[in-house]
Amino acid sequence: MLLGLGQTAQVYLAEAPGLGQVALKLPRKEVRQDARLAERFAREVSFSLSLKHPYLVRGLAGVPLGKEAFLALEYFPKGTLEAQLLEERLPLEEAVKALTQIGEALLFLHQKGLLHQDVKPSNVFVGDRVYKLGDLGTLRPILDRGAEYAGSPHYLAPELFLGGLPSEKSEAYAFGVMAYELLTGKRPFKGETLEELRDAHLFLPPPPTSLPPRLDKALRRLLAKNPEERLSIRAFLEVLRSWREGTKDQGPPKEAKPKKRFSLF
């Protein structure tokens, strides 16, 4: 059964010997014939099979290149977090749980020297009492200085719109947009065109929220326009944990003051 149809691959529900039901990802013919796209699929196979974390989608088997190229991934009958959000908003406690788990997956990737680059609800899969980050084909070494990068405009950090390079800071911003979406039920920035969306990310503050004060302040710092002033994912997770534990509202954790300013021009 066809589960999804993308620009580069088709995903089917399949039965694998010894593995049960899996999500079987097959690259399109044009992907196999394009060296750059084929290498991206091969990279996804390699990362999916080698990176092990409780909140990353688990790769089960695969062939990276050639006519027989495929990737078998664990199957999630509940689908993606995006599909779930289209049906109903997550309860606050459940949103905190999802963000905590995806945040830990991102910190794991950063410790491995990698950026995900495309953090958004459609790349988060819903399991039984667990949320997992998928689509590892967009992974990129943190030290990669190449100009090409991945990501959705709805979750793109301001510095990337201006030609900057992806970093843990831009990843924190994308995570912040998703956090705002999960915690408030709406995205912080909207636009009918790419230009409108770009300007919103560059110049507009996120709308006020009705979240507890400490959580609200931390969320706004996660969405800071200046990457040097942006709260880290780790610091934001500390706020989430303390909120769950009922810690007294004392404001977001302090981080080192930036040494240089960020300019939009």
The catalytic residues are 118
Retrieve residue 139's tokens: 């992974």
109 close to 55: Cβ distance less than 8 angstroms: no
For 60-90, b where at least 16 C-beta lie within 10 A, e where not — what string?
bbbebeeeebbbbbbbbeeebbbebbeeeeb
Retrieve residue 44's tokens: 């996804």
Q: Do β-strands 70-74 and 59-63 pair in parallel, antiparallel, or remain unpaired?
A: antiparallel
Name the DSSP letter for residue 145.
-
Minimal CA–CA distance to 37: which of 2, 73, 4, 6? Answer: 6
In angstroms, rounded to a whole number, what is the distance separating the alpha carbons of residues 38 and 137? 11
In angstroms, rounded to a whole number, what is the distance separating the alpha carbons of residues 117 and 143? 13
Q: Give how far the C-alpha of residue 35 lies from the chain's centroid of Cα atoms, to the nearest Å.
A: 26
